[in-house]
Amino acid sequence: MIQVGLHLVVELYGCNPKYISKLSNYKEKIERVVKKSGVTVLKSYHHQFNPHGVTSIFLLAESHFTVHTWPEYNYMAVDIFTCGSSEKAWEILKWLKREFKPLNIKVMDIMRGIPYEEIERTAIPIPKR
């Protein structure tokens, strides 16, 4: 497989609803996660839901990072995809844990890329291994 990136699908359980309900409490923490992880933000957008809950989308030079919160369940759903080095994806996760202090975490890690049989089937030139 030609690996193009790492995709982390993350569930954070037992988050303090104070920090994931309102943008005013959440935004400083999520922006610190991005800054400390060392990713390059091209654009970001945050949306406050009524009565509570927040969604953030970060378009990264490395790919993307999204967060959706459900404070009524103390829950955050996170999607992290980084191209090239997988280290930055794990850094984002490390800082998420430090900032939001979930009681439990579930992580699914998916190596993204093109299987060699697909390259051969579609006649894409195979790079040197």
The verdict on residue 24 lying in a domain is yes
Q: Determine if the peptide bond prior to 127 is cis (ω within 30°).
A: no
- 30 and 100 in contact (C-beta within 8 Å)? no
The verdict on residue 129 lying in a domain is no
Q: What pLDDT is recorded for position 129?
A: 57
44 labelled catalytic: no
Here the CATH number for the domain that contains residue 28 is 3.60.90.10
The verdict on residue 27 lying in a domain is yes
Instruction: List the beta bridge partners of residue 109.
Output: 8
68 labelled catalytic: yes
- Domain range for residue 89? 2-122
Into how many domains does the chain fold?
1
63 labelled catalytic: yes
pLDDT digits (tens, 9 = 90+) for 54-75: 999 999 999 999 999 999 999 9
* Helix (H) or strand (E) segment spanning residue 17: helix 17-20
pTM of the model: 0.88
The verdict on residue 128 lying in a domain is no
